[in-house]
Structure 1
Amino acid sequence: MFEFFKNAWFRDPNEPVTYINEVAVRIRAGILLFIPLYMGLTLFDVVYTSSWIVDGNTAVDTYDTDWDGHIIYAVEAIKRTYDYPVQTALLFYGLFEMLAGMFVFTSRFSPTIILSTYLARKTPPVWKPLVPKRFAWTIGATLITICILFFNPDTFAVWLNNLWGSQLLSETENFIPYWIPINMVWVCIGFMWLEAILGYCVGCKVHALLVKMRILKEECHDCNNIDWDEIARKHQAKLAQAESAQAELNKKD
């Protein structure tokens, strides 16, 4: 049990280049997918549903109609107020998960890493380098941070204004347009679905592209571990097969 918690989803935490179990990573992405789904439902409720609460018992017929012939009712309505303690706590937990997975030591404190490693224990592991995943989780942490600011604009504005000593941000209006977190939620859902269901890590592909463009200076560890002998054997087998097929054709002629 001690070794299980010590190694978590790593092949060997003491390796110069850290590798993690891709199977457990996909399971973890599926577990964490509920966070952007819940945020999506919250944003849908805030942006696309009515901001008024109307008690049906207080609706009174005015016996009048509008220009389109619709009956006009007089109602008592309450303006909805929005508070996001649950959403904020969930986002902070998601941020913790993104950051915890980036390093060997902090990974041992992640409940989802422990759970996903346990669930993947009977499946043959697929080892992938940690660095591209770390880059992908950095993107996730950035998106989560923006969502936290969207749900708590006044708190951040007060803190920043006090720190700066001037009125940089409005403390009464949200300085982040609603379309930014709405689109980001769909991006998060898409990225995590691709990771969990298809095993396609968009952040890893972006990392590989940046390395190829020499913007990031990282080695391609997969390239360094190519089995050239196996490639040569396969090449010789193909040549032998081609020669055998050619010999058969010559006999028929």
Structure 2
Amino acid sequence: MNRRVLVTAGASGVGCAMAQAFDAAGYEVWVTDIDQAALSSVPGHWTTHSANASDEADMRGVFDAVSEAGGLDTLCANAGIAGPTDAIEDIDLTAWRACIAVNLDGAFLAAKYAAPLMKSARSGSIILTSSTAGQYGYPFRAPYASAKWAVIGLMKTLAMELGPHGIRANAICPGAVEGPRMEGVLAREAEAKGMSREAVYQGYASGTSMGRFVEAQDIANMAVFLASDAARLVSGQVIAVDGHTVNPDPKL
């Protein structure tokens, strides 16, 4: 029987790249997403659920279905939003809470409902999507950075708590990933810092030792590795896929 993976926010972007990579590796793929249009465009043999990753009733329903299907081998808790890009004094509390809800509550809820399924099987791999923003301070991105730091704390705790049950937990920290979401970040940061989009882009790229942005496939490849038997003793780890960030503040 094929192993089963669930990817939250799996209908587009990094999540979709993860789902495609697991599909190619022979997994039975389940994806959730809040974007119904994106869900309708994924391969027809994937199992899809329209769900808000930060809504407990939605996530409980998804995992009930996963349980009825026979359980879960790998969870990719990938849902996230960029949140506001502003000076700390200009960040609205509602916007702060919305960013924390998707990035942190979403990871918590996915892990909460995946854990019992994996405990019953005495095996499993939980992969949380953090960010290099979860490893460094990040000017003008306080909600996002705070949430992504917290995701790492959650992962470390999961690794310790669930390890005795044969369950591994790790966090991937993507750097700047080429794509529409990052373009929005670039535009907002350019406005907040009074810089051009091109200057901010080059700031991100030159802030890595490899001098380039990451592609979604790079993140997906790491997720498949972390779920595999080749990583059977890799747990509790924060793994950056970022071209080696040496300066997290993208300014020239």
TM-score, normalised with respect to structure 1:
0.30
* Higher relative contact order, structure no. (Cα contacts within 8 Å, ≥ 6 residues apart): 1
Structure richer in strand, relative to its length: 2
Computing the radius of gyration from Cα coordinates, the structure with the larger value is 1
Structure richer in helix, relative to its length: 1
TM-score, normalised with respect to structure 2:
0.30
